[in-house]
């Protein structure tokens, strides 16, 4: 969730590219004669950029592809905080790589700016196209054309510390199924009175952290966070207000760790991994890491009266507008969606698959928690929010969303309508 540091640059990217005539200047990946649904594997050298947080998955995918294909992909890992600037500079000079991944919240902006090649026809030829995670596909759809497929999914779920639950007299095998249960379970851990142990933790000064973990609480309640166009905030609705009051009550009871108030995301998950937090929304990709130090329970993020949702984040991937090897690049992308990549590379390495028909596989079956995570991703209540100005409205430091959430937990809760209008003001620019 370190995307927040790059948000301001990303917000400027669309303006600069539009001035260069980027919008609408995209080709169409119609397969040439003999190319087939899988593209061309003729020994071409391809280039791929991705950001550092996805290094583990990206390297595993590229190594598996290179070992089984004539084409060879050269992978470049870019520091997270440099990625937006590097992509922007390359887009302006016509030097983008053949393939590049993008944080899914930036994809609508970059798609509209013309950075990706049109894959509508190629995606449509895949027999399992309707099984691919539609949140990522929709984020990369502009004016009815599709430009992006999922690269690596990053999902939000609830983690709880089974050891602390047992000490608190809670059932260590049952996490929260409603927001009230979440609050009650956090309070139960808090009542243990253990030094440096708290009921819960959140990123109190981190817009991206709470987009990732609070939005699903609204979706699980059957409500939306924005209008369909992504230009109006709905974060003043009944479900959202219940989310805010839950966290405000936990803060009033002293059940939120003090470090939460100024948490920008850099150490957001550290206290849980140290065994000091009872229950909190958490990135599913960190299950292997957290499990090294804590006996972790996992469930989907609940709503007001139940339900289960996740923010389907992570990165999408597309062929760049500058690639001269579009069909060879499509060969990599079509393989990326195959069972060989999704199951034998991603699932095998404890990452979520991007196809609903591959959720149950021999690797996920070994850990019921992974099955829970995959099923959360496939839930109709799980979503990828789409808005061109998403990063400016929500993720940027000092964004109107950060102001809203801080007021609701730590400040003037009566400012909700004004703060919600401020989010709309940025979304609708």
Pairing of strands 141-142, 149-161: unpaired
**Which CATH number is 45-153+313-377 given?**
3.40.190.10
DSSP 35: -
Average pLDDT of the segment spanning 225-250: 98
How many residues are listed for the chain in this entry?
429
Q: How confident is the model at residue 429 (pLDDT cuts 50, 70, 90)?
A: confident
Tell me: pLDDT of 20 over 60.
no
Q: Which residue has the higher pLDDT, 288 or 14?
A: 288
pLDDT at 9 > cutoff 60: no
Q: How far apart are CA 267 and CA 116, in angstroms?
A: 34
Q: In the chain, what percentage of residues exceed pLDDT 70?
A: 92
Query: Considering the chain, what is the average pLDDT of its residues?
Result: 91
Q: Count other Cβ atoms within 10 Å, centred on residue 373.
A: 26
Give one DSSP letter per residue of 46-110, joined into a string: EEEEEEGGGHHHHHHHHHHHHHH-SSEEEEEEE-HHHHHHHHHHHHHHT---SEEEEETTTHHHH
pLDDT band, very low/low/confident/very high, at 93 (cuts 50, 70, 90):
very high
CA distance 249 to 255: 9
Residue ranges of domains in the chain: 45-153+313-377, 155-312+383-428
Q: Nearest to residue 101, comparing CAs of 152, 142, 167?
A: 152
pLDDT of amino acid 105: 87
* Segment among 4-8, 111-115, 371-375 with least mean pLDDT: 4-8
Instruction: Name 165's Cβ contacts closer than 8 Å, sequence gap at least 6.
Output: 171, 172, 185, 188, 189, 278, 279, 297
Same fold yes or no, 45-153+313-377 and 155-312+383-428: yes
245-289 tens-digit pLDDT: 999 999 999 999 999 999 999 899 999 999 999 999 999 988 988
Chain segment 340-381, per-residue pLDDT in tens: 999 999 999 888 899 999 988 999 889 989 989 988 988 889
Q: What is the mean pLDDT of residues 324-348?
A: 97
Nearest to 304 by CA among 246, 255, 248: 246
Q: Tell me: pLDDT of 5 over 90.
A: no
In this prediction, residue 12 carries a pLDDT of 43
Confidence of residue 35 (pLDDT cuts 50, 70, 90): low
Q: Would the pLDDT of 77 be above 90? A: yes
Fold of 155-312+383-428: D-Maltodextrin-Binding Protein; domain 2 (3.40.190)
Look-up of token digits 């983008």? 96
Neighbour count for residue 191 (Cβ, 10 Å): 13
CA distance 270 to 272: 6
| CA distance readout (Å), 184 to 175, 292, 308, 407 | 11, 26, 18, 23
Q: Is the pLDDT of residue 10 over 50?
A: no
């Amino acid at each position: 969730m370190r995307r927040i540091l790059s948000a301001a640059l990303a917000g400027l990217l669309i303006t600069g590219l539009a001035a260069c005539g980027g919008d609408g200047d995209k080709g169409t990946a119609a397969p040439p004669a003999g190319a087939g649904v899988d593209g061309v594997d003729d020994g071409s050298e391809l280039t791929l950029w991705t950001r550092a947080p996805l290094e583990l998955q990206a390297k595993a995918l590229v190594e598996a592809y290179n070992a089984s294909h004539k084409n060879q992909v050269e992978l470049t890992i870019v520091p997270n905080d440099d990625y937006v600037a590097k992509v922007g500079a390359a887009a302006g000079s016509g030097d983008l790589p053949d393939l590049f991944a993008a944080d899914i919240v930036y994809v609508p902006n970059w798609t509209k700016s013309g950075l990706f090649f049109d894959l509508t026809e190629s995606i449509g030829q895949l027999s399992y196209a309707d099984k691919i995670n539609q949140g990522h596909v929709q984020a990369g759809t502009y004016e009815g054309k599709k430009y992006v497929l999922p690269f690596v999914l990053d999902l939000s779920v609830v983690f709880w510390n089974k050891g602390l639950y047992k000490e608190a007299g809670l059932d260590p095998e049952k996490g929260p199924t409603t927001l009230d249960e979440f609050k009650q379970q956090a309070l139960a851990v808090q009542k243990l009175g253990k030094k440096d142990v708290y009921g819960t933790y959140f990123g109190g000064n981190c817009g991206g952290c709470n987009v990732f973990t609070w939005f699903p609480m609204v979706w699980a309640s059957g409500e939306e966070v924005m209008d369909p166009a992504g230009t109006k905030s709905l974060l003043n609705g009944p479900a959202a207000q219940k989310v805010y009051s839950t966290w405000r009550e936990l803060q009033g009871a002293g059940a939120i760790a003090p470090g939460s108030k100024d948490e920008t995301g850099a150490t957001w998950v550290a206290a849980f991994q140290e065994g000091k937090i009872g229950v909190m929304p958490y990135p599913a990709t960190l299950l292997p890491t957290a499990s090294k130090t804590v006996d972790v329970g996992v469930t989907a993020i609940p709503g007001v009266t139940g339900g289960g949702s996740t923010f389907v984040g992570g990165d999408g991937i597309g062929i760049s507008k500058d690639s001269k090897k579009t069909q060879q690049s499509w060969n990599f992308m079509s393989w990326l969606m195959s069972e060989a990549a999704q199951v034998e590379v991603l699932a095998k390495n404890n990452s979520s698959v991007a196809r609903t028909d591959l959720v149950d596989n021999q690797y996920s079956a070994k850990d019921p928690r992974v099955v829970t995570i995959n099923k959360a991703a496939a839930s109709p209540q799980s979503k990828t929010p789409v808005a061109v100005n998403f990063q400016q409205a929500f993720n940027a430091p000092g964004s109107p969303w950060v102001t809203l959430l801080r007021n609701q937990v730590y400040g003037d809760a009566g400012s909700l309508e004004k703060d919600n209008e401020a989010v709309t003001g940025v979304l609708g620019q």
